Amino acid sequence: MQITALSGGIGGARFLRGLQQHLANENLDADITVIGNTGDDIWIHGLRICPDLDTVMYTLGGGSSEERGWGREGETFNAKDELAAYGVEPTWFGLGDKDIATHLVRSTSLSAGYSLSDVTTALCQRWQPGVRLLPMSNERAETHVVVDDPSGALDSSGAPMRIAIHFQEWWIRYRASLPAHEFVIVGIDDARPAPGVLDAIAAADVILLPPSNPVVSIGTILAVPGIRDALRSTSAPVVGLSPIVGGAPVRGMADACLTTVGVETSALGVAGLYGARTQSGILDAWLIDESDAHAVPAIEALGIPCSAIPLMMSDLDATAAMAAQALRVAGTHV
Amino acid sequence: MQITALSGGIGGARFLRGLQQHLANENLDADITVIGNTGDDIWIHGLRICPDLDTVMYTLGGGSSEERGWGREGETFNAKDELAAYGVEPTWFGLGDKDIATHLVRSTSLSAGYSLSDVTTALCQRWQPGVRLLPMSNERAETHVVVDDPSGALDSSGAPMRIAIHFQEWWIRYRASLPAHEFVIVGIDDARPAPGVLDAIAAADVILLPPSNPVVSIGTILAVPGIRDALRSTSAPVVGLSPIVGGAPVRGMADACLTTVGVETSALGVAGLYGARTQSGILDAWLIDESDAHAVPAIEALGIPCSAIPLMMSDLDATAAMAAQALRVAGTHV
């Protein structure tokens, strides 16, 4: 069985770990390909940082911090403190000392002419995440956020000056608290799916959308020209799991992202954002939390088959059960 | 008073700290310019590393490890261990996590087009070493060592294959234990003294050669076209302090370097290597350790005024006394 998943960072990585656990529990043989979001990648201090790829790699490879969800277990931040002591910006990015090694290997390899795909494969040689991890694209396409200038500057008409800041600055430095007018993925028009991405969608037996951020993680992957069309034309069922439970994101600040794109922060809202495959969208099925069961009729009215199940990834067993349900509704009944 | 010193790493840095202590003890106002060796600079993992400049900067700025002499106090080596776990070479370089911040700032600044002089000045803004620290050159000119291939490979005639390895590999990985046939400073012919270097030599009231490695530290600085001539033509007295005491280097492996260039490892040998200014050399005076007093006549026979004094930098007071003596024999009698 070939399973292809689109993934952001923490939520996606934890779901994938549950998926692996389920497959192991049931002694099932399946190849998993993960198409990772690179829209929140950033160059900092000369280092190419791919937060979502690394979170998947570290989490599935057994090296991530369970407490934080991102970065490395037993991490230190001495280089970060020193960079701040030198007064060089940015100081708000959580650049760990162990993590820097990953970024150094990546950055020198990219400088030597290797593609991000190649570099990701090379890094995974060490981590053995048990999945084939592909960046959504080898082209640079980074999400930026249009906000009112936090300095309070006004334009010539006296209105707040709008500026675009990198997604990471908005997310980490401002904790998504600056109202976002718009997300702009700089370079997305020229981005192509990385080698293997379209094949992994076309050849899959099932495609999963883990409970990742639907706007700045999954949404960014979908924005790479060709990927949405591939999802719409694949013969594999596309099954999504809601990252919104009870009107709030399980983790992270997806509510701020949904508000920006005019979507209600609810399991129904996200279902509508993705849309039914039968109606120009991508979903063949949608799983929502049991606490949101009241929304099932409204979601099915959108043309999306919907089931309400426990969707809290409280532990590995609970997450494995979610993955099992996702495969079940995909009709694979494994 | 304008004091200009040529310096390698640990020995030079510790002597300079003693010099500062002496000036403070005597309440003397002097500007110190340090011309630092950059011949053992190296690019590792995409980072530009300047071991001698950093040792001077950290030591005089109060941030160096007293125990090791190089690198930072309270240093961690997590990134280094991780790089080794990725299997990327070199693994033998002592790349500390705090230290990496310095290299990141330097590397990104160099990539942005700043000169090594500018970057060094910028880094020193934080450390406030109390000296003006100049690289010997802004051009890359790195010392390499010609050795028999450690793999035992033979050339077509059956003789050991000779290869050139970077000085740092010879020094750190092999602890200078591979017999060196020759030192080759790649790029030295095209290197120019960094801005300020020739002026600092010409305008000095006294020039000091601390007890640094006479071959791969001071010798490399002297190899930058124009610097030796400047030392020979300055009106300032040039006073050196022997790094060799009792036939052995006080610290480091200068004996292996001296052997390579055919110079006896002795205070006399190094004096002869530098030579008397009156006889096409650069020294106006040479200080040797009291335990080597027997060599004074032979050194003076070379045309170099020589005094035997305590030359062990056992503590700051002892080092300050050495600096005081150096200034005294320079005829400044301060």
pLDDT at residue B66, as a whole number: 86
Does B69 have pLDDT greater than 90?
no
**Mean of per-residue pLDDT scores for chain B:** 96
CA distance A77 to chain B (A): 8
Q: A146 burial class (0-12, 13-18, 19+ CB within 10 angstroms)?
A: middle
Q: Residue type for A218, please?
A: I
- Strand ranges in A132-266 using DSSP code E only, listed in sequence order: 132-135, 142-148, 162-166, 180-186, 206-209, 238-241, 244-245, 248-249
Q: Both tokens of residue A189? A: 């028009």
pLDDT digits (tens, 9 = 90+) for B31-46: 999 999 999 999 999 9
Residue of chain B whose alpha carbon sits nearest to that of A104: B45
CB contacts of B80 in chain A (<8 Å) are 101
Does A334 have pLDDT greater than 50?
no
pLDDT digits (tens, 9 = 90+) for A4-40: 999 999 999 999 999 999 999 999 999 999 999 999 9
For B190-331, CATH gives 3.40.50.10680
DSSP one-letter code for A169: I
What is the distance between the alpha carbons of residues B287 and B278, in angstroms, rounded to a whole number?
17
Instruction: Determine contact, residues B294/B288, Cβ cutoff 8 Å.
Output: no
What is the distance between the alpha carbons of residues B274 and B260, in angstroms, rounded to a whole number?
16
A224 Cβ neighbours under 8 A, 6+ residues apart: A136, A137, A141, A188, A191, A192, A193, A197
Residue A221 φ/ψ region, left for φ over 0, alpha for ψ in the -120 to 50 degree band, beta for the rest: alpha
Q: What H or E segment, with its residue span, contains residue A26?
A: none
CB-closest option in A79, A104, A126 to B101:
A79
Q: Both tokens of residue B215? A: 């071959």
Mean pLDDT of B268-290: 97
CB-closest option in B75, B79, B107 to A100:
B79
Contact (CB<8Å) A82/B101: yes
What is the distance between the alpha carbons of residues B170 and B184, in angstroms, rounded to a whole number?
13
Beta bridge partners of A143: A185
Does B326 have pLDDT greater than 80?
yes
pLDDT at residue A332, as a whole number: 60
Does A117 have pLDDT greater than 90?
yes
Mean pLDDT of B90-103: 96
CB-closest option in B79, B98, B105 to A101:
B79
Residue of chain B whose alpha carbon sits nearest to that of A63: B82
The verdict on domain A40-135 having CATH code 1.10.8.240 is: yes
CB contacts of A75 in chain B (<8 Å) are 78
CA distance A175 to chain B (A): 25
Alpha helices in chain A (DSSP H): 10-25, 51-61, 78-85, 97-111, 116-127, 167-168, 197-202, 218-223, 227-233, 254-260, 267-274, 296-301, 316-329
Q: Both tokens of residue A182? A: 């718009």
Q: Tell me, yes or no, if the pTM score tops 0.80.
A: yes
Contact (CB<8Å) B78/A87: no
CB contacts of B107 in chain A (<8 Å) are 46
A26 Cβ neighbours under 8 A, 6+ residues apart: A324, A334
Domain ranges of chain A: 40-135, 142-186, 190-331
Q: Residue type for B205, please?
A: D
What is the distance between the alpha carbons of residues A157 and A141, in angstroms, rounded to a whole number?
32
Does A308 have pLDDT greater than 70?
yes
Mean pLDDT of A170-193: 97
Alpha-carbon dihedral of residues B84, B90, B96, B100, nearest 10 degrees? -110
pLDDT digits (tens, 9 = 90+) for B214-234: 999 999 999 999 999 999 999
A231 Cβ neighbours under 8 A, 6+ residues apart: A201, A207, A222, A238, A282
Q: What is the side-by-side strand order in the sheet with A306-309?
A: A132-135, A31-36, A2-7, A206-209, A238-241, A285-289, A306-309
pLDDT at residue B331, as a whole number: 84
What is the distance between the alpha carbons of residues A261 and A252, in angstroms, rounded to a whole number?
17
CA distance B103 to chain A (A): 10
Rounded to two decimals, the ipTM of the complex is: 0.92
Q: A57 burial class (0-12, 13-18, 19+ CB within 10 angstroms)?
A: buried
What is the distance between the alpha carbons of residues B31 and A127, in angstroms, rounded to a whole number?
53
Confidence of residue B63 (pLDDT cuts 50, 70, 90): very high
Does B133 have pLDDT greater than 90?
yes
pLDDT at residue B334, as a whole number: 40
Percent of chain B with pLDDT over 90: 95
Q: A56 burial class (0-12, 13-18, 19+ CB within 10 angstroms)?
A: buried
What is the distance between the alpha carbons of residues B15 and B34, in angstroms, rounded to a whole number?
12
What are phi and psi for residue B49, nearest 5 degrees? -115, 130
pLDDT at residue B332, as a whole number: 60
SS (H, E, C) B24-46: HHCCCCCEEEEEECCCCCEEECC
pLDDT digits (tens, 9 = 90+) for A123-144: 999 999 999 999 999 999 999 9
Instruction: Mark which residues 56-95 of B lie under 8 Å from A by CB.
Output: 75-76, 78-83, 85-88
